[in-house]
């Protein structure tokens, strides 16, 4: 009955989705649209991690823009200043971000309540200040130029088409890992923590360990996305990694559908492409954007993906019942 | 004589309220034992302290001789103690079978890394968890509900699911907090039969229950709490006729 990505077997859904996105460049050939799709894929990687944290485990982070930024700067700075290859940057970015997330997560996730949200909020602001003030390394507010283009094992990625396939490859890999996690002992433990901490505790789930684990994993996703972003745009500035962007990432999860990986990608796609579509509204863009968010929250509180699903099921049943009435059958 | 679980001078205060005060209580291995007492006698607080949800104010809880008071719930669970909740704490968005699979958390190993990569050891383990959880569902009579969302079950079945989930952890001591609350007669007699079968598996049962017929029918030993202290204990017949119990709880006739 549920439509969202073959609930019974998400791997069938994964296969279908893979074929779909891999075939997309056959239809979309415009450079600009391909570029938007690359950004959607990069955002989706962050939002998948955030959904594991927020949608599945029920923990809010308001600092994922800074993990994204750290991923970008930790590869961007050595690339621009010392011509490090991208993979070397990744080898630095991932462990450093994981360590930082662990240090934030361990004390805050032991406590009950929204301490993680507060800690990550503060952390995001601190990181933002560092990006701005460490001018000699980061280029300060005007940004960091001269980041090398992506080069993996001797293959350089220049065109948007090549980049599309690269970004999609990483997105699919992250999606597959996430599906595996969700459908495992770990995923069940995370959902159990969300459902009832008391019950998961007495069944032997080490609550703080799982919360920290999923927080670190989601920070790693964001760092990976930041690494891709830095080498795609080859220019980064602090304005891309603000508190507002952290909020936007959370919004993508909520709008898409909490606790649905497909919803996360859907949310990232909608909220990333919406500004491009809303461009016609010029200065009213923010207003229209806000109205759309409010409408979704009022009429589809379970998120757009599940909302549309519910709507289709509703219309289907309505169609069926009007059909049976037309047949003249008695209704119960 | 050593006991499976015992409390020594156990106290748990909430501000000035002495929910449990200087409680000494022993649980023998392999029996169905009940804790009864009027509302506010400290029964649920006792469960919360023993299962690690609340730390004791003072005193100690011993499980198989080891002090467990103030230890985290998941550590106590890993020693073989688990419980159900009076106000249902099911994972209501998950399926019935998934609830039991979470119950088997301690009986499986897969971590973040092995699960994300879906290594062979993980899917072998996953298959084993599925099989055993299906057996547990059959044992508790929930087999045909396996793929339903837990929150959509009728209330009585949700109560049974709490027990099925707890069985997943293969406990040595299972604490049932008012499992018959809200059940009809038919469901209660099914429950009584289920508790009997759980005991036959060698699992010690500590029961908190208001349904006196059920308590008197299945208990081999009854402990009576009043105002956080044990005022009487013995076999059901003895307790039923105890002066202090009649006065504190059952009312004078």
Averaged pLDDT in 10-residue chunks for chain A of 332 residues? 52 93 90 93 97 94 96 96 94 97 94 87 95 91 91 87 95 96 95 95 96 97 97 94 92 88 92 81 76 81 82 81 54 40
The answer as to whether A316 is a domain residue is no
Residue B103: closest CA among chain A residues belongs to which residue? A203
Residue B110: closest CA among chain A residues belongs to which residue? A185
List chain A residues with CB under 8 Å of B111.
186
Domain locations in chain B as residue ranges: 5-80+171-250, 92-157
Partner-chain contact A188 B169, CB within 8 Å = no
Partner-chain contact B126 A207, CB within 8 Å = no
DSSP state of B95: B
Determine how β-strand B32-36 pairs with β-strand B58-63. unpaired
B35, B231 in Cβ contact below 8 A?
A: no
The answer as to whether A256 is a domain residue is yes
Determine how β-strand B5-14 pairs with β-strand A155-156. unpaired
List chain B residues with CB under 8 Å of A198.
53, 73, 85, 89
pLDDT score at A297: 79
Interface mutation vs chain B, best among A94, A195, A199, A220, most B CBs within 10 Å: A199
List chain B residues with CB under 8 Å of A180.
115-118
pLDDT score at A83: 92
Partner-chain contact A204 B105, CB within 8 Å = yes
Host domain of residue A44? 10-269
Q: Where are the alpha helices (DSSP H) in chain A?
A: 10-27, 31-51, 64-82, 86-109, 115-133, 135-138, 160-182, 185-195, 197-202, 207-233, 243-256, 261-277, 285-299, 304-326
Compute the half-sphere exposure of residue A206: CA atoms within 13 Å on the CB side of its CA. Answer: 11
Q: What are phi and psi of B170, to 5 degrees?
A: 45, 60
List chain B residues with CB under 8 Å of A179.
none
The answer as to whether A301 is a domain residue is no
List chain A residues with CB under 8 Å of B125.
185
CATH number at residue A111: 1.10.3470
Q: What is the pLDDT along chain B (253 residues), one digit of tens a residue?
A: 579 999 999 999 999 899 999 999 999 999 999 999 888 889 999 999 999 999 999 999 999 999 999 999 999 999 999 999 999 999 999 999 999 999 999 999 989 999 999 888 898 999 999 999 999 999 999 999 999 999 999 999 999 999 999 999 999 999 999 999 999 999 999 999 999 999 999 999 999 999 999 999 999 999 999 989 999 899 988 888 888 888 876 555 4
The answer as to whether A295 is a domain residue is no
DSSP state of A280: G
Q: Chain B neighbours among A 253-282 (CB < 8 Å)?
A: 259
Q: What are phi and psi of B207, to 5 degrees?
A: -115, 130
Query: Domain B5-80+171-250 adopts which CATH fold?
Result: Rossmann fold (3.40.50)
Q: Give the total number of structural domains in chain A.
A: 1
Q: Strand pairing partners for A236?
A: A144
Token pair of A68 as six digits: 């994204």
């Amino acid at each position: 009955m549920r439509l969202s990505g073959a609930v019974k077997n998400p791997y069938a859904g994964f296969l279908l989705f893979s074929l779909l996105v891999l075939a997309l460049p056959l239809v979309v050939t415009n450079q600009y649209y391909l570029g938007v799709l690359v950004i959607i894929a990069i955002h989706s990687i962050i939002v998948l991690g955030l959904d594991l944290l927020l949608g599945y485990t029920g923990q809010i982070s308001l600092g994922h823009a800074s993990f994204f930024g750290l991923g970008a700067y930790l590869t961007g700075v050595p690339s621009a200043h010392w011509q490090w290859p991208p993979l070397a940057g990744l080898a630095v970015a991932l462990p450093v971000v994981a360590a930082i997330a662990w240090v934030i997560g361990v004390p805050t996730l032991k406590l009950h309540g929204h301490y993680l949200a507060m800690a990550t909020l503060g952390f995001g602001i601190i990181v933002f200040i560092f990006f701005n003030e460490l001018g000699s390394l980061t280029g300060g507010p005007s940004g960091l130029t001269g980041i090398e283009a992506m080069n993996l094992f001797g293959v350089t990625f220049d065109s948007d088409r090549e980049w599309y396939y690269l970004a999609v490859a990483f997105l699919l890999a992250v999606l597959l890992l996430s599906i595996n996690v969700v459908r495992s002992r770990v995923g069940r433990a995370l959902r159990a923590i969300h459902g009832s901490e008391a019950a998961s505790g007495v069944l032997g789930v080490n609550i703080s360990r799982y919360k920290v684990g999923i927080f670190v994993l989601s920070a790693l996703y964001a760092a990976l996305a930041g690494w891709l972003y830095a080498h795609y745009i080859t220019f980064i500035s602090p304005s891309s990694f603000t508190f507002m962007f952290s909020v936007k990432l959370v919004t993508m999860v909520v709008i898409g559908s909490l606790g649905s990986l497909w919803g996360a990608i859907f949310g990232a796609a909608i909220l990333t492409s919406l500004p491009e579509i809303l461009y016609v509204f010029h200065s009213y863009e923010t207003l229209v954007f806000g109205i759309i968010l409010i409408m979704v929250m009022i009429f589809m509180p379970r998120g757009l993906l599940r909302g549309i699903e519910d709507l289709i099921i509703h219309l289907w049943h309505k169609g069926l019942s009007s059909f049976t009435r037309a047949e003249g059958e008695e209704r119960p | 004589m050593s006991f499976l679980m015992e409390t020594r001078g156990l106290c748990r205060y909430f501000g000035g309220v002495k929910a449990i005060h200087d409680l000494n209580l022993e649980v023998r291995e392999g029996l169905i034992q009940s804790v009864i007492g009027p509302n506010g006698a400290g029964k649920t607080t006792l469960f919360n302290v023993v299962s690690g949800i609340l730390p004791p104010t003072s005193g100690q809880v011993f499980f198989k001789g080891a002090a467990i008071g103030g230890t985290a719930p998941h550590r106590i669970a890993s020693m073989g103690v688990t419980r159900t909740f009076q106000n249902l704490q099911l994972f209501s968005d998950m399926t019935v079978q998934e609830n039991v699979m979470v119950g088997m958390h301690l009986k499986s190993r897969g971590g973040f890394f092995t699960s994300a990569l879906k290594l062979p050891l993980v899917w072998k383990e996953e298959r084993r968890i599925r099989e055993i959880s299906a057996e547990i569902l059959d044992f508790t009579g929930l087999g045909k509900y396996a793929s339903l969302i837990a929150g959509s079950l009728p209330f009585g079945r949700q109560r049974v699911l709490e027990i099925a989930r707890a069985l997943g952890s293969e406990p040595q001591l299972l604490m049932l907090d008012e499992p018959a609350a809200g059940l009809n007669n038919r469901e209660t007699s099914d429950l009584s039969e289920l508790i009997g079968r759980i005991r036959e598996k060698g699992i010690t049962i500590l029961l908190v229950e208001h349904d006196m017929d059920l308590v008197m029918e299945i208990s081999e030993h009854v402990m009576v709490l009043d105002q956080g202290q044990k005022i009487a204990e013995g076999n059901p017949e003895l307790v039923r006729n105890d002066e202090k119990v009649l006065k504190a709880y059952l009312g004078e006739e």
